[in-house]
Structure 1
Amino acid sequence: MPNLRTNRYLFKYRNLSEVLYDSLIPDPFYFTLEQTVSGNNGEKREAVLRYMDYSIIESEQFGKIFIPKNHEYGASLWSIPLNNKEEIIKKKKKKEFIINNLGENSWLYYKSVVEYMSLKSCNLVSSDSWYLSIVGLKPSHQNQGLGKTLINPVLEKTDSKGIMTYLETFNPRNMKFYEKLGYKTIKSFKEPTIKSDYWIMARQPDK
């Protein structure tokens, strides 16, 4: 297992990673992910901040990302369909990152959750759908109508291309927000590793 205290990681989006962390750490997925990291609370937090930063970079390379221009109050990160070669590279890099920066336990946790949720969603959404993997808004900017500004610019693109989008949420309080954007709940499951209910929501393109 790597020594997370000495393993240096150079952030590209440190400030934005902190925004995503503060916004998302109450979510059961990220809360539990943090608990899988060895070390004190500061080391655990730093590891999840690295995860957030890597997720932004990963979306730049393999998916889509929206960050408000000249502002860092939030972001939306999207996964898009890839060819087999790209998908293999993406998964390999993700595994290496998590093991090297969070640890083997974190990788086993991540793998278990993602494989279960992917298995459930693949039968419910089309293979060419875009997936809203992460959206986070700075807590001080919440309840001001800014959340939709992180998602709508991408939905305009998917609408123009006739592409379905979907998401998964462990927080039922978020569902009304997504419903206002046109998402509908299509199924709910209990994730066995986290032991928490979550909902799959999908949105047909608005033509």
Structure 2
Amino acid sequence: MSSPFHTETARSLATALTGDPFYRTVTVACGEDEAARLEMLDAYFALALAEGRQAGRVDLADDAGNGAAIWTTDAPAALRQAAYAQREDALRALLGEQGFAHFTAIVENMEHALAQHDLQDAWYLSIAGIHPDAQGQGLGASVLAPGLAAVDAARAACFLETYNERSLPFYARLGFVMAGRYAEAVTGCDYWLMARYPNAA
């Protein structure tokens, strides 16, 4: 079910993240058609928002749909698996054969890298983005604050992966530490794994 607000939030995420190597690689079917890529990413993020609401956590940046943070949480595994399977079927149709193959391969590569870290029970900040026109107003930190508070209340660790080296100081200010830098073969780009651990207090 999609509301106008839901649509605005998906469009903001698409606009914010359209240059990200992961999203460019999974939308390979669009070629150089940036308008088509934006439309495909609109649908991609609408699916991600739906999955997050069903089996994770979604925090919205503001009342104008300027962005969101989507988390995988400690929801029951069966619920998370069912929501992921539902989104996976939709992504297969949305991205096309090559795009979905890229999606699957990148996820597998990242999961392989993640396996050496003790984060299997951690929360995962899967998507975070603010519309470029609304950046620089503190929305990035404020949209993450409720999720991080929930992580802390659960005394859980959390992690994220980013291809954007410029975002590393931002996440460091929120308590994330560098866990690794990896070369990802499908995108041909490096990404960074950052983790945030519960306080020992």
**What TM-score do you get using the length of structure 2 for normalisation?**
0.90
2:96 counterpart of 1:106: no
Q: What is the correspondence of 1:56-95 to structure 2 with a 5 Å cutoff?
A: 56-68=49-61, 70-81=63-74, 83-95=76-88
Percent sequence identity is 27
Instruction: Summarize the Cα distance change of 1:164–1:84 in structure 2 as closer, same or farther, 3 Å threshold.
Output: closer
The answer on 1:55 being equivalent to 2:48 is: yes
Q: Distance in 1 between matches of 2:62 and 2:136?
A: 20
Correspondent of 2:179 among 171, 180, 186: 186
1:165 aligns with 2:158: yes
Give aligned pairs, total.
198
Do 1:184 and 1:201's aligned partners in 2 also have CA atoms closer than 8 Å? yes
TM-fit CA distance, 1:40: 4.8
Q: Which has the higher helix share?
A: 2
After superposition, the Cα gap between the structure-2 partners of 1:86 and 1:122, relative to the gap in structure 1 and judged at 3 Å, is farther
Query: Can you list the C-alpha shifts for 1:1-21, whole angstroms capped at 9, x where unaligned?
Result: xxxxxxxxx744211111001
Cα distance change, pair 39–29 in 1 and its aligned pair in 2 (3 A): closer
Alignment partner, residue 28 of structure 2: 35
Change in Cα spacing, 1:41 to 1:145, as seen in structure 2 (3 Å) is closer
Q: Say if 2:26 and 2:100, in contact at 8 Å, map to a contact too.
A: no
For 1:203 and 1:31, the matched residues in 2 are separated by: 27
The alpha carbon displacement at 1:69 in A equals 5.2
Please identify runs of 4+ aligned residues in structure 1 that moved more than 4 A: 37-41, 81-84
TM-score (norm 1): 0.87
Q: Which residue of 2 aligns with 1:140?
A: 133
The verdict on how the C-alpha distance between 1:81 and 1:140 changes in structure 2, with shifts beyond 3 A counting, is: same
